[in-house]
Structure formats: structure tokens, C-alpha cells
A and B are shown apart, each in its own frame.
Chain A
């Protein structure tokens, strides 16, 4: 039986992990990305996701140097996102040591990139990242947003998930824009809608503030993986947690984990 996975997602600016703190202007500096990656690896994180968050705005490719640095320290899978423009930049990222490519706005604008990526490197490489926001006018009640959750697309989240799966995405990560930064828990309703629509493995993101939120996600849905970052290092939370303590808590409550 597969264990559930905890994934740390790093928002990276200039080789540093940062944390965007809602309603507070500039992101807060947390640590050097390779150092934090090594710490997380030692603490039994199951997977990492590195997001080069300014690559798009700065119109440059993904920072390959940081991928290489992290790859030298960690021997678990990690995905990368931001600054991916096509097959050749995917190849560069994979060659630098990444295992997965996370596609977000680019895939909405050009869905064929999913199938091209899956064909070139295998479906397991392609993570479709969907940013979802509640909108009652959508059939599923959720709309896809792009450009760092700024731009509505008039695309229904379920329609997009099904299309992404059929184009060859090997995994789908769903961020709830409404929950992100609220520490009120994952959007269970959203995840249940997605899980019944597709058969690919799912990752939930946005809203986790305490260990019980992970337990709720893993017991009420079939979602296999959760992105946690605030819980690990956000200065906004009264208490931060270690990966080990979170896994211990989940395991004691019957969730299969790699300890």
C-alpha cells in the first residue's frame, strides 16, 4: 500500500526560500533553498517542489543552478515550476536533477504542452497545477485562475482536470486560492469533486495550519499527497512543526506514512 506523502513547496527568489505573507507586501526571507532542502530531506520529507516564482515576470528561464544545488543534497523526488516555456526548458530542468515539471498558467494558455511533455519524458514527469477559486457561476462551483492566482480564465476546474488528465498529466496538484494563507484547512469539498472526476494521483495545496488539517484531508478524501510549507516555517503561525512530528501524528492516527 502506498503511504500518503508530505511535500514541501519552496517559493524561491534568488536562491532563497521566501514566504509570501498575505496582506503584507514583501515576501519574508526564510532560508537558502539548498540548505532548507537538505534539512527537510534529513527530516523525512517525502518530496519537494521548487517554484521559481519570479521567472515569469522577469521573462527568463528557470534557475537551473538552484535545481543542481538541491539535487546534490537530496535523494528524493523533486518537482520544479516557474520559468518553463517548452520542451527544451523542461529537458534542461530534468537534466539538472528535477524529476517532475509543474505546469500551471502555461498549460492553460497552451494545453498541448502537457501532451508534448508527457510524450517526451513520460506522464510521471508532468504535474498539472490547477489554481482554483470558488465561483458559483461555474458548473463545479470552482474556476481556474492563472498568473499566480491573479487572472480568472472562465474555465471550470473539473473540465480542466479531466482535459489535463486526458492530455497526459501524471499527477494533478490543486491549490485552493480561497484557503491559501488562511490556515483554516484544505478545501475538502474541492478535492472530493476532483477525485471523483479523474484517476490520476492528486496533491492538495492551500489552507493547512495544523496537523489535524492533514488528518482531515487524508481521512476524508483519497488525495495522496499534501503540500505543506506554512506549517513548517511560516512566521505567521504561532507554532511551526517538523516533518517528523507531523508524520508521527498522522501515523498514530492510522494514516500510512513513511517514517
Chain B
């Protein structure tokens, strides 16, 4: 079962709508119990890193999530803030993240760029993973973010964009995928990437 984690501040409905539109069966996970049958987990995100961490803690879902993703290697996709909290630390309200990826999340400098970054930006996929990206490489995806991730290990970088300098667009390690942009509202290209991701899960599971 594909499980989409639903916490109040996230945009789980948009993610659910795109996944179901692609013809996949998916259900929300609002508790640890509902995560236990997951063969694929999507963690959507909008809003702040701190609020997201607090919501996940309040749902008592984190232990089960880490068991599934880190031990059982269930396929995982984090989106936007759902990617940012995978890092060790976010500058946003000094929030400790899950630390699945080494690195930190920092704010764009408003003296240099408009903040938030809002709109369509080109994503260049720079490493081969089991999720194919040939048909979406160098296409535009929709971003909304004031903070961005800086990876410690460049081997984790899956794709990059340019926003007054190189920007971490997405990261990947083993079964863990995470995207800063919102594929679920990036038009047909975004749907294609989600399909490529979910198809990979179907093959594995």
C-alpha cells in the first residue's frame, strides 16, 4: 500500500490527488498503525520545518516511519518541507531534523533573491538512480521555498536547479528520495516523475 502521511499543515490532498490520478491505490497515514502496511511512503510538506516536526511528533508516527524507511528499506519520497526535515538541522526556527541526510537547511538571502522562491525552475538530474529521469530531465518544476538544503555528501545529490547559484533540487540515497520542488503540482512533467517513482516501487515490492 502507498501511504501518504497526512498532518494538518501539509498538502497531502494535492499529493493524493496526483497519485490517484496516475491510477495507483493510495491511502493516508495519520497514525503509526496506518503506516505499518506501507510498501511506499510519501511525506508531503508545506509550511515550516518546525511545525512539521511538531506535527509528526504529536502523531507518534516517527518511530514507525524510521523503522519502515531505515530498517525495512521501504521506498520513501519526501516533498518540500518533507525533504528539509530529513536533514540534520534547519535554520528555520532552529529546528532539529531527522538526520537521514547529512547537511543543513538554510535560508535564501533576500538581499540577493526574492524570497520565497516561487515558480517554475529547471531541474537537472545529475545521478542515475533506480527511478528513471530521462523523460523529465531539464524540465521545469514548481518550487515554493524560502529555505534550501545544503548537503554534506555530494553523492546524495540527485538533481540541481539554479536560483542565483546552485540549489539542491532533490536528493537520494538507497530507498530514500526527496524533492524540494512540488512534483504534484508541476503539471504533466511532475506527474511523470511521480509515476516513474511509484513504478519503481511496484517493481521492487
Binding site for B on A (CB under 8 A): 1-5, 41, 44, 46, 71-72, 75-77, 91, 94-97, 99, 120-125, 170-171, 199-201, 222, 224-225, 258
Contacts and interface: CB of A to CB of B under 8 A. Distances in A.
A200 B144 CA distance: 12
Interface of B: 8-9, 11, 13-14, 17-18, 21, 46-48, 110, 114-122, 140, 142-146, 162-163, 182, 184-188, 190-191
A220 to B, nearest CB: 17
Given A2-B121, A97-B14, A123-B146, A224 B114 contact: yes
The 3 A-B residue pairs with the shortest CB-CB distance, nearest first, are A122-B47, A124-B144, A258-B140
B114 A46 contact: no
18 contacts: A2-B117, A2-B119, A3-B119, A5-B119, A46-B119, A75-B191, A76-B185, A77-B142, A95-B13, A99-B11, A99-B14, A120-B47, A121-B47, A124-B144, A124-B146, A125-B46, A199-B110, A222-B114
Contacts of A121: 9, 46-47
Contacts, number: 97
Chain B binding surface, main DSSP class: mixed
A221 to B, nearest CB: 12
A97 B119 CA distance: 18
A5 to B, nearest CB: 5
B115 A200 contact: yes
A5 B117 CA distance: 13
A202 to B, nearest CB: 8
Nearest to B164: A1
A75 B188 CA distance: 7
Nearest to B191: A75
Contact of A75 (B21, B121, B144): B21
B142 A199 contact: no
Given A1-B121, A1-B162, A3-B120, A75 B13 contact: no
B9 A75 contact: no
A76 B142 contact: yes
A200 B188 CA distance: 27
Contact of B118 (A71, A96, A97, A224): A224
B13 A122 contact: no
A170 B17 contact: no
Contacts of B118: 2, 124, 170-171, 201, 224
Given A1-B163, A97-B13, A124 B46 contact: yes
A3 B184 contact: no
A96 B115 CA distance: 26
A210 B188 CA distance: 28
A2 B163 contact: yes
Contacts of B8: 91
A76 B163 CA distance: 21
Contacts of A91: 8
Nearest to B47: A122
Name the residue in B21, B115, B142 with the highest tally of chain A Cβ atoms < 10 Å from its Cβ.
Answer: B142
